[in-house]
Structure 1
Amino acid sequence: MVSLPEELQAREDAARQRVEELQAEAVELALRLAKAREDLSWLEITRETVTQVLAELSAAKAEPDIPTEDASPLHMTSAPHGVGVMMVPPWREGLVVAVLPDVYRDIVEIIADAPGPVQAKQIVPRIGLPTTTGKIEGTRGKLKRLVERGWLDEDTPGQFTLARQGPGRDRVNSQ
């Protein structure tokens, strides 16, 4: 016959072993979940990129080339199979935000409505995306592209404002 303290000790040991097994399973599941989330994030980014490229290509086919005085082969708006397609044109006087793809237009409008400089992580939820690292980095890339093309300024790293020579606050929503 087993004594009560021995029985309690045996049950405690069994419970401790079960807790350790469950903790090991939880660690394994947490690692698998992190990997699955990373895979999902990459797939979302890939799908969005492909969708954007296809939309840009179809928009380029729908709009005829409008050469400008300073047009060069590098700045043409269409080419076979999307080679050399530039969907975010360099800003120039008279160019309105409506020429930008939807997501870029949304970004410029959000920055125009902001009282001061805006960071990528502040823009992501305002354009309807989850605030994951992938979405923030993708948006930061778009912001940098808008800076390169003269639509935005980045006086302080990571802080974006409308370009001083770019689309004025009074013209952002025009046309």
Structure 2
Amino acid sequence: MNALDPDPGTWLLDRIDAHEKTLTSQIEQAHAQIEELTGRLRELDQDLDHLRITRKTLLVLATAPDPAPPPPPTPMVPDHPAYQQILTLMIGTGQPTRARDLCLALDLPLERKNIENTRAKLKRLVSLGVLVEIEPGLFAQPRP
């Protein structure tokens, strides 16, 4: 054997070391890929769970009966007796009424100030939601 020729045992050990380094590098890369894929798999599982929950919620909502709407608030009628008299007459007739006709029914003189005061009270009842103005100057009870 020549002094320049490498020792066959050393040569084989060097080859084994090189191969071991290559395999170790590949293993580290594979572990990194596994960690990345495991993280991605967790994200996909979570997204799938969210979709399943959404589907389940939508199916429950689709089969559930619609909740009843809350009842409309009861309008507050002013305490003044004139408002009570107007409402009593409106309920009694059950027909749309004008301020002039209410003045007659209330035995008020058909003077401009009485008609205008009655119209103002009717407009206030409209603004409170107690009555509706179905056309200018014609007032009625709201329909349910």
Where on the TM-score scale, by shorter chain, does this alignment land: which range?
Answer: 0.3 to 0.5
TM-score by length of 2: 0.45
Between structures 1 and 2, the one with greater helix share: 2
TM-score by length of 1: 0.38
Q: Which has the higher Rg, Structure 1 or Structure 2? A: 2
